[in-house]
């Protein structure tokens, strides 16, 4: 039974990793920007949920649309009026820019929100589904299904809408996309905005599953990076699979060898995937038919 409990815990954790990895993977795959500020952006969504819950007693799940919308706008503004200025620069310059943005956001949150750990605990936080020896918290179940639903909606958006197809076409061949009338600058801004919005949703869900502070921003970005490598850049299905694999691996490794080794094991898996299948578990080129 303990193995089944660990597996369930790993899948529940992995769904969250998948959600925070989807936005990171999409931005990296389309704009070629490794957004080191991704975790900090997610935490902005977490603090937004926290203060709405504390000040106005809004149920955390009801703040999801607010977190997405606010962080979507923030992401759009950041890319359109900051990163778009140097998007053609060498990747090292982009890394410095996003790292600097991450430091700024972390210090901003530390200054205004303090470095204390915060958490959101609604009345139903302690309730669980008990099946024999298996205990599944209702909140973690809800977070799991929301993460999977968000991944499905993202996949539908990329597959069925003109904007989604334009994003995928730009990731495949920017010059061909421009010949069809697509503006790369607008697509890059839209992609970054969507990635930030999804990160904001992940931040909201984070408040329900663990305590948080500005100092965990780097850890969230690290998980998003590993998920992107495991699943393949720009692949929603890949991010979902990569997140689930990472969550299960971390949970089992924590039980078997202890918490202190889980990062090393996660990195080891990432290196193994890079050696065996550099494009990721589900990585492949996109083909998108873009219609006006």
Question: Which DSSP category does 118 fall into?
Answer: B
pLDDT digits (tens, 9 = 90+) for 28-61: 989 888 999 999 999 999 999 999 999 999 999 9
Instruction: Give the count of domains, the chain.
Output: 1
d(CA 117, CA 205) in angstroms, rounded, equals: 16
200 in a domain, yes or no? Answer: yes
* Confidence grade of residue 285 (pLDDT, cut at 50, 70, 90): very low
The predicted structure's pLDDT at residue 140: 95
Q: How far apart are the first and last CA of the chain?
A: 54
105 inside domain:
yes
Indicate the Cα dihedral angle 100, 101, 103, 108, nearest 10°.
Answer: 140
Rounded Cα gap, residues 114 and 3, in angstroms: 39
Contact predicate 246/12, CB 8 Å: no
How much is the mean pLDDT over the chain? 90
Residue 287 located in a structural domain: no
CA distance 35 to 41: 10
In a domain, 20, yes or no: yes
- Please tell me the predicted confidence (pLDDT) of residue 284: 53
Contact between residue 33 and residue 27 where contact means Cβ atoms under 8 Å apart: yes
On whether residue 289 sits in a domain, the answer given is no
Residue 266 in tokens: 């996660």
pLDDT in tens, 133-151: 899 999 999 999 999 999 9
* Domain annotation covers residue 249: yes
Residue among 279, 264, 211, 206 nearest 17 (CA): 206
pLDDT at 54: 94
Considering the domain boundaries, does residue 49 fall inside one?
yes
Q: What is the pTM of this model?
A: 0.93
**pLDDT at 276 (0 to 100):** 86
SS3 (DSSP) at 103? helix
Instruction: Report CA Rg, the chain.
Output: 19
- Residues 199-217 pLDDT 10s: 999 999 999 999 999 999 9
The alpha carbon torsion through 7, 12, 15, 21 (nearest 10 deg) reads -90
Domain containing 6 equals 2-276
């Amino acid at each position: 039974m303990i193995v089944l409990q660990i597996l369930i815990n790993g899948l529940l954790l992995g769904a969250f990793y998948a959600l925070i990895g989807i936005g990171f993977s999409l931005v990296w795959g389309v704009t070629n920007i490794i957004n080191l500020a991704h975790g900090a952006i997610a935490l902005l969504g977490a603090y937004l949920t926290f203060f709405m819950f504390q000040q106005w007693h809004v149920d955390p799940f009801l703040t999801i649309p607010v977190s997405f919308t606010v962080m979507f706008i923030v992401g759009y503004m950041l890319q359109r009026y900051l990163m778009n200025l140097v998007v053609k620069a060498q990747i090292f310059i982009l890394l410095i820019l996003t790292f600097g943005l991450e430091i700024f956001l972390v210090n901003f949150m530390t200054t205004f929100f303090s470095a204390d750990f915060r958490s959101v605990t609604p009345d139903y936080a302690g309730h669980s589904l008990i099946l024999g020896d298996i205990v599944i918290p209702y909140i973690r179940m809800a977070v799991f299904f929301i993460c999977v639903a968000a991944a499905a909606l993202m996949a539908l958006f990329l597959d069925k809408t003109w904007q989604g197809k334009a994003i995928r076409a730009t990731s495949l061949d920017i010059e061909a996309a421009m010949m069809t009338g697509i503006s790369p600058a607008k697509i890059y801004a839209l992609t970054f905005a969507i990635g930030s919005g999804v990160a904001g949703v992940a931040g909201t869900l984070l408040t329900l599953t663990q305590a948080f502070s500005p100092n965990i921003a780097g850890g969230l970005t690290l998980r998003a990076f590993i998920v992107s490598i495991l699943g393949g850049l720009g692949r929603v299905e890949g991010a979902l699979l990569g997140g689930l694999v990472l969550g299960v691996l971390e949970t089992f490794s924590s039980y078997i060898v202890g918490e202190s080794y889980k990062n090393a094991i996660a990195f080891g898996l990432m290196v193994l995937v890079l050696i065996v299948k550099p494009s990721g578990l589900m990585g492949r080129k996109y083909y998108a038919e873009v219609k006006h």
